[in-house]
Structure 1
Amino acid sequence: MLTKISSFFQNLADDLTENTAKKNSEEVTIELACAVLLCEVMRADGHFDQQEQAKLAVLLVEQFHLDEEEVKQIIDQALIQSEQATDFFRYTSKINKHFSIEQRISIVKQLWKMAYADGELASIEEHVIRKIGDLLQLRHAEYIQTKPRK
């Protein structure tokens, strides 16, 4: 009986280790990390339309100078990962590791552009941007400077 219980827990531990290794092996690129965060803002208010998806593509081209096919692939991956994400840490930590503070400020400015793509700002979009700004280690003054002036 103890052998069966021990075997059960060993198999469970092996499965967890295998799943963790598989998840960590899925490399997140800077482009994908930024795209996922943009998708999170786009999806925050519960709906996204062609206008917002077009804005997402434009923002990725502006930031990373990608061609149309690369943008399409990244958006497809980003939408899938955004739907499955439980937090932003995997993406913001990648950006923090490779981007300067000025580049992170630029990313948050793009998040605001994404939020306004449909012509209005939902409070949940603002909340998501604030949360991402905190995870990107922006000070309050830096976060405030990213907000668009009306």
Structure 2
Amino acid sequence: MPIRRLKDMIHNFFTPDADREAFDHDVPTIHLAAGALLCEVLVKDGDVEDVEYERLIDLLAVRFGLSTKEVRDLLDTIRVCVDHEDKLGRMINSVRDNFNDEERVELLEMMADIAWQDSDFHAMERALICTVAERLGFDVAHGHRAMEKVRFRHQMMLSGQRLPSTLAD
């Protein structure tokens, strides 16, 4: 049995916040939980643009080292598993329990990156990012910083300027 599957099985047994569907669908909890949060921000403004969807696929592929097919399979699993707010809350809890602080900040920035693909943060997207920040154990300011960092990066890239070293990573 692969070590990740064993860790997920133990986590699901001992931690009620763990996402049972990840185990049932043979998907690592971190992939399902993070993917679900990224999908939620994708649909939050009520208008899913191709550029946002493509960015979601790119971010999941790069962050988790998945092929395009694996990302699409993951997205199919997310559609089946995350069908209401209660399960989304459990996904947030799984991220909180399985990601370190740096990874949680990275996830907030990934959420902001997807939300900014249409060059605007819709009020519902901002609220979701800030709520997730709080539920992950941060304050609302972390959500605002993630959005500002992404907005600034995109504006710098559009203008052809180099990013300051403090924002390059």
Q: Do both proteins adopt the same fold according to a TM-score greater than 0.5, normalized to the shorter chain?
A: yes
SS in 2 for 1:148: helix
Larger relative contact order, structure 1 or 2 (CA cutoff 8 Å, min sep 6): 1
Question: 1:27 matched to which residue of 2?
Answer: 22
Matched residues, number: 126
For residues 92 and 51 of structure 1, do their structure 2 counterparts lie closer, same or farther at Cα, with a shift above 3 Å needed?
same
Q: CA RMSD in A?
A: 1.8
In the alignment, is residue 62 of structure 1 matched against residue 62 of structure 2? Answer: yes
Question: 2:85 matched to which residue of 1?
Answer: 86
Note the C-alpha offset of 1:73.
0.5
For residues 120 and 33 of structure 1, do their structure 2 counterparts lie closer, same or farther at Cα, with a shift above 3 Å needed?
same
Once the two structures are superposed, the pairs formed by residues 125-136 of structure 1 within 5 Å of their partners are 125-136=125-136
CA distances 1:119-149 after superposition (whole Å, capped 9, x unpaired): 2211111011111111111134433432234
SS in 2 for 1:26: helix
| 8 Å contact from structure 1 (residues 45, 124) kept in 2 | yes
| Unpaired segments ≥5 residues, structure 1 | 1-23
SS in 1 for 2:22: coil
SS in 1 for 2:137: coil
| Unpaired segments ≥5 residues, structure 2 | 1-18, 24-28, 153-169
Identity value in percent: 25
User: Whose radius of gyration is greater, 1 or 2?
Assistant: 1
TM-score (ref. length: structure 2): 0.67
TM-score (ref. length: structure 1): 0.75
Q: Structure 1: which amino acid aligns with 2:21?
A: E
Q: 2:46, 2:107 → 1: CA distance?
A: 22
SS in 2 for 1:119: coil
